[in-house]
Amino acid sequence: MAHYRSLGSVPPKRHTQHRDPDGQLYREELMGEEGFSSDSSLLYHRGVPSAIVDSQVWELPDQTRTPNHPLKPRHLELHTLFEGDATADAVTGRRLVLGNNDVRIGYVVAGPGASPYYRNAIGDECVYVESGSGVVETVFGTLSYRTGDYVIVPRATTHRWVVGEASRLYPIEANSHIAPPKRYLSRFGQFLEHAPYCERDLVGPTETFVVEGENVEVLVKHRAGGAVLGTRMTYATHPFDVVGWDGCLYPYTFNIEDYMPITGKVHQPPPVHQVFEGHNFVICNFLPRKVDYHELAIPVPYYHSNVDSDEVMFYVGGDYEARKGSGINIGSISLHPGGHAHGPQPSAIEASLGVEYFEESAVMVDTFAPLDLGEGGLAAEDPAYAWTWAGRGPGADGEGDGGPAVFSNS
Ligand SMILES: [Fe+2]
């Protein structure tokens, strides 16, 4: 984030004495990216941010990754992973759906209440809120969230999720930072005119958030020996003791409805729908919009073989009545791996001719390294999907229904 923000009490000059009304020094902490060479913020703590009194193993949920082998497109029905009342919490309840060494995609349906305190030391998190509402409490202040929000939490930000309305959350956990695409920004970081959103759409904390407490546990997700591991650290004083901070590094939300889709006379490629990028992956969103207006336009995409990418579409909204029988529905993921062309079936192409408006909404993650299946992905798979273009699977010789098996934009 290139946009400077200052909340609460900060001294006029950085790295100088800053005291509370009783004369006690606040403890200054720099949270900075890329070794003092990129965005940072200065936080002023009441307590000592380094003071821990215990460190224990936190056993993470199953992080097993299974290669997509034999190679095939996959359809994962995430809504089948959490049945009944939502009782999981937004942090420890996450099930790993897909992952590689650059990014891990999870899913959780979190019930009302607070998660443990948590921070991800591996990378930034972009949590898409499929539905629900609540608050994310952080050392920088609180963020309200609602359906359609991307909640961006920078690496190593201590926070917790306080769910109000049961929330379907789609965490995209990077091993890097997540930011708006560089091509949307000026050389000094301001959003340019061609960008589909701008600073006004990004919602950060508006006031500091201080909590009293001692011996507070924080779950830390981190890497060691190439593995994703967890540690439970106990802090002598509450980590939410920041009376003021300023800088360009902080959590924020962006609602998908504030993305202004870019349309064209003929089919526009997915990069016009990009919203964020991380190292070796991008995040795009496909939203309700007018579609291609050339008199001979084909609104659905051409077949495409993204030779460098695995493509993950998460279908989050829209009218899927026309797709009955295809398998894809709200809450579905399609994984279209590199090395295999994908696109619509002929019936979907014909059906799209003359259409002026698409209602569907989807969040897409394209990775530049192959994705493995997590335990949640394996548990949610619809095994018939790979054969829906041909209309028949292995060992079958009849005519299948061959219904449209892909989203209009994928
Ligand atoms: Fe695609």
Residue 338 DSSP SS3: coil
Residue 273 DSSP SS3: helix
Q: How far is the CA of 95 from the centre of ligand 1 (A)?
A: 25
Q: How far is the CA of 78 from the centre of ligand 1 (A)?
A: 20
Give the residue among 107, 124, 91 at the shortest CA–CA distance from 276: 124
Q: How far is the CA of 408 from the centre of ligand 1 (A)?
A: 10
The pocket of ion ligand 1, defined by CB under 5 A, consists of 311, 410
Domain shared by 119 and 211, yes or no: yes
Distances (CA, A) of 264 to 56, 94, 285: 55, 38, 16
pLDDT of residue 397: 60
Using omega within 30 degrees of 0 as the cis cutoff, is the peptide bond preceding 70 cis?
yes
pLDDT of residue 390: 87
Q: How far is the CA of 311 from the centre of ligand 1 (A)?
A: 6
Give the contacts of 68 (CB within 8 A, at least 6 positions apart). 74, 310, 335, 337, 370, 371, 372, 373
Domain shared by 57 and 177, yes or no: yes
Q: How far is the CA of 318 from the centre of ligand 1 (A)?
A: 18
Domain stops at, among 255, 282, 305: 255
Residue 147: pLDDT band with limits 50, 70, 90: very high
pLDDT digit string (tens) for 69-101? 999 999 999 999 998 888 899 999 999 999 999
pLDDT of residue 404: 42
Q: Which of 35-44, 47-56, 337-346 has the weakest average pLDDT?
A: 337-346
State how beta strands 125-138 and 159-174 pair: antiparallel
Q: Is the pLDDT of residue 402 over 80?
A: no
* Residue 8 belongs to a domain: no
Q: How far is the CA of 349 from the centre of ligand 1 (A)?
A: 14
Residue 401: pLDDT band with limits 50, 70, 90: very low
Q: Which CATH number is 142's domain given?
A: 2.60.120.10
* Residue 317 belongs to a domain: yes
Domain shared by 231 and 288, yes or no: no
Q: Is the pLDDT of residue 277 over 50?
A: yes
Domain shared by 354 and 212, yes or no: no
Domain stops at, among 255, 287, 304: 255
Domain that holds residue 227: 49-67+83-240+251-255
Domain shared by 203 and 344, yes or no: no
* Residue 29 belongs to a domain: no
For the segment 326-352, the average pLDDT, to the nearest whole number, is 88
Residue 326: pLDDT band with limits 50, 70, 90: low
pLDDT of residue 372: 98
Q: How far is the CA of 98 from the centre of ligand 1 (A)?
A: 17
Between the two ends of the chain, the Cα-to-Cα distance in Å is 29
* Residue 103 belongs to a domain: yes
Residue 379 DSSP SS3: helix
Q: How far is the CA of 304 from the centre of ligand 1 (A)?
A: 6
pLDDT digit string (tens) for 178-216? 999 999 999 999 999 999 999 999 999 999 999 999 999
Q: How far is the CA of 410 from the centre of ligand 1 (A)?
A: 4
User: How far is CA 309 from its chain centroid?
Assistant: 18
* Residue 30 belongs to a domain: no
pLDDT of residue 409: 55
Q: How far is the CA of 284 from the centre of ligand 1 (A)?
A: 11
Query: From CA 137, how far away is CA 205, in angstroms rounded?
Result: 9
Query: From CA 114, how far away is CA 221, in angstroms rounded?
Result: 18
Q: How far is the CA of 273 from the centre of ligand 1 (A)?
A: 12
Q: How far is the CA of 274 from the centre of ligand 1 (A)?
A: 13
Domain shared by 226 and 287, yes or no: no
pLDDT digit string (tens) for 293-322? 999 999 888 999 989 999 999 999 986 543
Q: How far is the CA of 344 from the centre of ligand 1 (A)?
A: 9
Percent of the chain past pLDDT 90, that is, above it, reads 84
Mean pLDDT of the chain: 93
Q: How far is the CA of 366 from the centre of ligand 1 (A)?
A: 9
* Residue 40 belongs to a domain: no
pLDDT of residue 85: 84
Q: Is the pLDDT of residue 399 over 80?
A: no
Residue 403: pLDDT band with limits 50, 70, 90: very low
For the segment 266-292, the average pLDDT, to the nearest whole number, is 95
Q: Is the pLDDT of residue 349 over 90?
A: no
Q: How far is the CA of 65 from the centre of ligand 1 (A)?
A: 23
For the segment 339-365, the average pLDDT, to the nearest whole number, is 89
State how beta strands 214-224 and 5-8 pair: unpaired
Q: Is the pLDDT of residue 235 over 60?
A: yes
Residue 333 DSSP SS3: strand
pLDDT digit string (tens) for 3-20? 999 999 999 999 999 999
Domain shared by 236 and 274, yes or no: no
Q: How far is the CA of 138 from the centre of ligand 1 (A)?
A: 36
Neighbours of 114 (CB within 10 A): 15
Domain shared by 191 and 306, yes or no: no
Query: From CA 118, how far away is CA 249, in angstroms rounded?
Result: 18
Q: How far is the CA of 309 from the centre of ligand 1 (A)?
A: 9
| Residues 233 and 218 sit within 8 Å (Cβ to Cβ) | yes
Q: How far is the CA of 301 from the centre of ligand 1 (A)?
A: 8
Domain shared by 296 and 235, yes or no: no
Q: How far is the CA of 63 from the centre of ligand 1 (A)?
A: 27
Structure tokens at 85: 């009342």
pLDDT digit string (tens) for 362-393? 999 999 999 999 999 999 999 999 998 888 88
Structure tokens at 270: 């997915």
* Residue 18 belongs to a domain: no
Domain shared by 222 and 319, yes or no: no
Domain shared by 289 and 378, yes or no: yes
- Assessment of whether the complete model's pTM goes beyond 0.85: yes
Query: From CA 80, how far away is CA 74, in angstroms rounded?
Result: 15
Report how many domains make up the chain: 2
Residue 16 DSSP SS3: coil
State how beta strands 214-224 and 117-120 pair: parallel
Residue 122: pLDDT band with limits 50, 70, 90: very high
- Dihedral pair phi/psi, residue 319, rounded to 5°: -95, 110
Q: How far is the CA of 64 from the centre of ligand 1 (A)?
A: 26
State how beta strands 95-99 and 361-367 pair: unpaired
Q: How far is the CA of 403 from the centre of ligand 1 (A)?
A: 18
* Residue 116 belongs to a domain: yes
Neighbours of 290 (CB within 10 A): 13
Domain stops at, among 232, 255, 278: 255
State how beta strands 202-203 and 117-120 pair: unpaired
| Residues 169 and 117 sit within 8 Å (Cβ to Cβ) | no
Domain shared by 137 and 173, yes or no: yes
Residue 408: pLDDT band with limits 50, 70, 90: low
For the segment 216-222, the average pLDDT, to the nearest whole number, is 98
pLDDT of residue 400: 41
Which neighbouring-strand residues pair with 218? 117, 233
Q: Is the pLDDT of residue 103 over 90?
A: yes
Query: From CA 97, how far away is CA 51, in angstroms rounded?
Result: 35
